[in-house]
Structure 1
Amino acid sequence: MTPRDTADTNSDGPWSDLDRPPLNAPALRRGLVREGGLWTGVELVRATGSTNSDLVGLAAAGKAAEGTVLVAEEQTAGRGRLDRRWTAPPRSGLFFSVLLRPAKVPVDRWGWLPLLTGVAVATGLSRAAGVDTALKWPNDLLVTVGGEERKAGGILAERAGDDGVVIGVGVNVSLRAEELPVPQAGSLALAGAVSTDRDPLLRAVLRSLEEWYGRWRSAEGDAGVCGLQETYVAGCATLGRVVRAELPGDRSVVGEAVAVDGDGRLVIVNEAGVREAVGAGDIVHLRSA
């Protein structure tokens, strides 16, 4: 993979859909990369299989520093949790990955990073797009379209060696109704965004991520001390719902989601009143409690 700025103008190039102009890599670098800041480099590619896979590979080869941001105009093999495919038309969303190395944070607190990213993305989109984004535990971004809850984005965290984590984010920005991959999907445009200009959206999200990551890291990963746990709980659409947690080993738990604990786990109480903290699994929202 050779990252390069998108500047072509052929019929299949970035200007072929004028409603979806290309990202401006130099402007993004000027706005995000600064002395003493988290972001050390912003690379933009026309298309790639998966920004997460690419950045994990660069980190393993010693070719990426903490704060590297890899953005793609199109992902042809984007992945979500459980290796689900994530596809969208070129330049219709934000598809990017970042490399973090939280050296001073105990590894057992790194599980907060996907939740932290969810808070940062929701905050950034609220500011820049004017769209309220709720969080479905552990890593989905929800918007309201026509009174219905729809998934508009997702987050995927992967280890990169012993000291790094690559976090990938995918957000549907300008997808039209006929372009949605499944009926349950949504986009910022369909949710009534005041802006679908991806440059300011990406800058807002990355600045928000830098702010939250800095707070969390300064607190040595204590989500309570830095306010992350409280903020996540306030924006989590899963809490107060009856859910089904599909867990590893073909086991499932049905009950009310009542809390997110200090380790970022979802606490579920079943009909018998038994509490179980779920650290990994697929969550299905069934109904309000």
Structure 2
Amino acid sequence: MKKLILVAAIAAATTVGSVNAATIYEGKGLTYKLKGDWQVQLRDNASKTKDAEVEFDDLELKNSVTYDLGNGLKAFGQLDFGFKDAAEDKQSGSKLEEAYLGLDFGMAAVAVGKQNNAADEFGVEGAYEHAVSEDAFDAAGQTDGDDVIRLDVATDNFTLITSTELEAEGENSAGDASFEIFAATSVGGVELAAAYQTIDKTAGDVDSWGLSAATKLGSVALAADYSSRDTGSVDLDTYNVVAKFKASKTTTFALGLTEEETSASTDATQIYANVTYKFPAQKNVSVFAEISDIDEDGKDLDLDVLAGMRIKF
């Protein structure tokens, strides 16, 4: 589940490490942090042909290493593993999700390797599970890659991220080349963001772009985004509208709508509501529940219902 846009949060994410991570070792200019994100849920999805099951989303271990090189320069490395597919008997062992090295210059950082690209930062939806694509970039199917070069630039009120995926023709990691750019800022209490991606495919370029806005009114956060994908044949438009209500220091409710419209007349709409409770003694431990009503052309669907627990560190 993505969070609503927060420029400060995005800026903090552009450097290695996290406030949630556990520091395993720190000394002689070296910092090693381990971050975990484990989510297990009982879900009866919208399909009438499938029974309820225990789902894993996600089971991740993230390893971050930072070396202080002096004069404001840092070297960093990231090695992340996911165990979701292994837990659901889809594969044996772990899955390498991210593996990259880079240099942090303070306001800017450059990283090279297997990682998310700039388009992955876009989006304001607030659902735990999505029946349709979260946005046009997600629908395009290339928000990460094995041969990504990424540049992050961040200030207190502005974030700019650019990335490119190499084609790597002839190599085991060969794929479609791409270029992405994401920018976010705050104007008069409104968080604004824009993103663009072009993917060089054999059948023709796939171009996607999106705009989003978010604001807070007391204990209520409101956000919306629009994104579009052009493949040259079937076009896609995706809308997200979400409101989050903080009922107390521990409890948050969310209501949202995601609508997907295509030029092939295969439209889909998801309306969802969820509640999250964070334990007051440990905010990184939470329980949640969600219900979604899904209307997808050509499909006879039930309500999508889930409840689960999440632990982060």
- What TM-score do you get using the length of structure 2 for normalisation? 0.27
- Higher-Rg member (1/2): 2
- What TM-score do you get using the length of structure 1 for normalisation? 0.28
More strand by proportion, 1 or 2? 2
